[in-house]
Amino acid sequence: MTNKHNTILIIDDNAINRKYLKSVFSNDKYNPILCSGGKEALEKLKTNKANLVLVDIQMPEMDGFECYNQIRQQYELRCPIIAITAFSDQTDKQEILDFGFNDYIAKPVKPDTLLGIVNFWLSRFNSNDKLSSPMNENLEHIDHDILNDLLRFTDAQSLLSLIDEFVEETRSDIQSIAKFKESDRHSEILSILHTIKGNAGSFGFTVLSSLAAEIEVKIKSKQLETIDSDLDGFIEYSDSLLRDYHRLLKIN
């Protein structure tokens, strides 16, 4: 559940876009704060605590990537930061996630998609900044647009066979993460997460990919205060997803 005090910092140089995004968050569960650029956002953060940040990638003076860096470095802000971009290529999306953004919303922004992603990330962070299992959320765990693109180049049975292989490999990787977690072997975990992130994204398991990317970023940046609980949530989600993936795929 989202909280009516959730403050969403919206950073976009386009006034119409800002008004549009504000209208989507008109519900009293949200407190949207509008900024026309990175400098204004940094000023607003001096007196406002954000629960989530939405930032346009393509802005003059300070683009979304630099804005991300400044927010993380100056304020050590740990809330989700989500990119809004006109990019649509899967490679561009992976670049954004690799950079450190928690997620990505493609333009034109659809209200249902926006609210779904924002509510997902808000619900995953409690007051201690610990990850909670998202399997109980009403989420699109698998991106069927990616699956449909893959089906242009192969038949359904061959694709299912490939996904079954990915799932078996990922189950083994999850067991390794659980083992390495007990002895704080974070470098080994980092390597496994990187593999899961890429493979999951390729087959449309976008939530799994995003979870792996987020924990990967935390380990790389030495944000290890909640890493055990983060990994527990990741393992729990992975186990649930990989038990139910055939139903979620909807491939005939």
Q: Of the residues 63, 94, 123, which one is the last residue of a structural domain?
A: 123
**Who contacts 184 (Cβ-Cβ below 8 Å, separation ≥6)?**
none
Q: Let me know if residue 24 belongs to a domain.
A: yes
Write down the pTM of the prediction.
0.54
Tell me how crowded residue 73 is: count the other CB atoms within 10 A of its CB. Answer: 9
Do residues 120 and 137 touch, judged by C-beta distance below 8 A?
yes
pLDDT tens digits for range 81-104: 999 988 655 557 778 887 888 888
Q: 148 is in which domain, residue-wise?
A: 144-249
Same structural domain, 18 and 101? yes
For 160-219, the pLDDT digits (tens) are: 999 999 999 999 999 999 999 999 999 999 999 999 999 999 999 988 998 999 899 889
153 and 55 inside one domain: no
Task: Please report, for residues 62, 90, 178, the alpha-carbon distance to residue 156 in angstroms, rounded to integers and kept in the order given.
Answer: 45, 21, 33
Copy the structure tokens of residue 183.
Answer: 């002895």
Cα–Cα distance, 6 to 30 (Å, whole number) = 5
**How many domains is the chain built from?**
2
210 falls within a domain: yes
Report the CATH number that the domain containing residue 52 is assigned in CATH. Answer: 3.40.50.2300
Quick one: 74 and 161 in the same domain?
Answer: no
- The end-to-end CA distance of the chain, in Å, is 34
Q: Who contacts 92 (Cβ-Cβ below 8 Å, separation ≥6)?
A: 85
